[in-house]
Amino acid sequence: MTGAPGGPDAVTDRAVLAGSAYRDERDLVARQSLYRWQHPSYDLPGLVVDRLRDVRGTVVDVGCGNGKFVRRLHRDRPDLRVLGLDISPGILDGLPRPVAVADAERLPLGSGSAGAVLALHMLYHVGDIPRAVGELARVVCDSGVVIASTNSEHDKSELDRLWERAAADVLGVARGPSRISLSARFSLEKAPDHLGAAFSTVDVIELPGVIEVPTPEPVVVHLASYRAWAVQHGVPFDATVERAQMLVERHIEQHGAFEINALGGLLICSK
Please write the tens of the pLDDT for every residue from 59-87.
999 999 999 999 999 999 999 999 999 99
Q: State the average pLDDT over residues 103-122.
A: 98
Q: State the average pLDDT over residues 205-221.
A: 98
Give me the pLDDT at residue 10, please: 80
Give me the pLDDT at residue 194, please: 98
Q: Which residues of 61-91 are buried (b: 16+ CB within 10 A; e: fewer)?
A: bbbbbbbbbbbbbbebbeebebbbbbbbeeb
Tens digit of pLDDT for each residue in 216-233? 999 999 999 999 998 887
Confidence of residue 3 (pLDDT cuts 50, 70, 90): very low
Give me the pLDDT at residue 1, please: 27
Average pLDDT score, the chain: 95
Tens digit of pLDDT for each residue in 14-33? 999 999 999 999 999 999 99
SS3 content of the chain, % helix, strand, coil (to 5): 45, 25, 35
% residues pLDDT > 90 (the chain): 94
Q: State the average pLDDT over residues 229-254.
A: 94
The beta-carbon contacts of 235-239 under 8 Å, at least 24 apart in sequence, are: 235/167, 235/170, 235/171, 235/176, 235/177, 236/170, 239/170
Confidence of residue 213 (pLDDT cuts 50, 70, 90): very high
Give me the pLDDT at residue 42, please: 97
Tens digit of pLDDT for each residue in 4-17? 344 457 899 999 99
